[in-house]
Structure 1
């Protein structure tokens, strides 16, 4: 094993901790605190779908795209979209090119929900780095942007809309 391999293993470990550790930035305790400040009608999975619809639009994704995001079957994706529709956060619209396809679009209420979530995420992140100097925060942001761009460029998922979303390490909820 060479030094670069060791560094890459260290990076992977830090990213896993950030994403999954109990006290990690995107771990279950912080995710619970994040979601606790948002309207009760959206589950972590629903929030993940809202973020995906926002990132995919226009046009919005088809239910099959949402199923692929959730690594589930179409029936589960339909149930999630149905709950979001009843909550007034998304709507289904016919595709303008292929009328057989129904796309999922954010409603105004869905957009407001996403904005509220973004503001809450920013506040929580601000608390986590409150004692950091501005220069360190700027460097971290620059490095994460480079990482996202590199992952999107070198490791795209074939057939997935917006492969760069795969690399996004800024989402608080992974829907689990």
Structure 2
């Protein structure tokens, strides 16, 4: 094993901790903190779907697109979308080109709830980095943007337009680490 392999293993370990550790930025305790106060229908999985719908450019995603995001079957995606619809956070709309297709779009309430969670997440980041010099925070941001762009460039079929803004979609949980409920 060479030094670069060792560094890559270290990077992977740090990213796993950031994402999955109990106190990691997107770990269960922090996730509950920024989802607290949102409707009960906004589980970590539901939040992930809301962010995906928000990030989608016209046209909005279909339930099949959401199932692909969740790495699950369409039935599970339908249950998640049904809960979000009942909560008034998303609505199903007909595709403008093919009227047989139903798409999932955010309601104004859904947008407000996403903005609230995003503000909480930003506040948590601010608290976590309060003792960091501005230059370190800027460097970290630059490095993470560069990493996101590099990963996206190396994915089959990735296009430059897919890179910007897409990184935030998967910020809460993997489909495999959070059950349908809260």
Is the structural similarity TM-score above 0.5?
yes
Say if 1:163 and 1:62 are closer, same or farther in 2 by CA, change over 3 A: farther
What pairs up with 1:1-176 in 2 under 5 angstroms? Answer: 1-156=1-156, 162=162, 167-168=167-168, 171-174=171-174, 176=178
Is 2:94–2:100's contact at 8 Å kept on the other side of the alignment? Answer: yes
After superposing the two structures, state which structure 1 stretch, 40-49 or 125-134, moved more: 40-49
Contact 1:152 1:164 in 2 (8 A): no
Shift of 1:100: 1.2
Q: State the TM-score, normalized to the length of structure 1.
A: 0.90
Residues 129 and 37 (structure 1 numbering): CA distance in 2 closer, same or farther, change over 3 Å? farther
* Structure 2 length-normalised TM: 0.87
- Distance in 2, matches of 1:110 and 1:42, equals 10
| Shift in CA distance, 64/81, structure 1 to aligned 2, threshold 3 Å | same
* Structure 1 unpaired stretches of 5+: none
Separation of aligned partners in 2, 1:80 and 1:172: 15
Contact kept? 2:19, 2:25, Cα under 8 Å: yes
Offset of 1:29 from its aligned partner? 1.3
Partner SS for 1:132:
coil
Deviates more, 1:37-46 or 1:134-143: 37-46
Q: Distance in 1 between matches of 2:3 and 2:104?
A: 46
Q: Gaps spanning 5+ residues in structure 2: where?
A: none
Q: Work out whether residues 67 and 74 of structure 1, in 8 Å CA contact, stay in contact via their aligned partners in 2.
A: yes
C-alpha displacement of 1:157: 7.1
* Runs of 4 or more above 3 Å deviation: 162-170, 172-175
Give per-residue Cα distances to partners, 1:22-41, cap 9 Å, x unaligned.
11111111112121243333
Aligned residue-pair number: 174
The 8 Å contact of residues 18 and 27 in structure 1, kept in 2 or not, is answered as yes
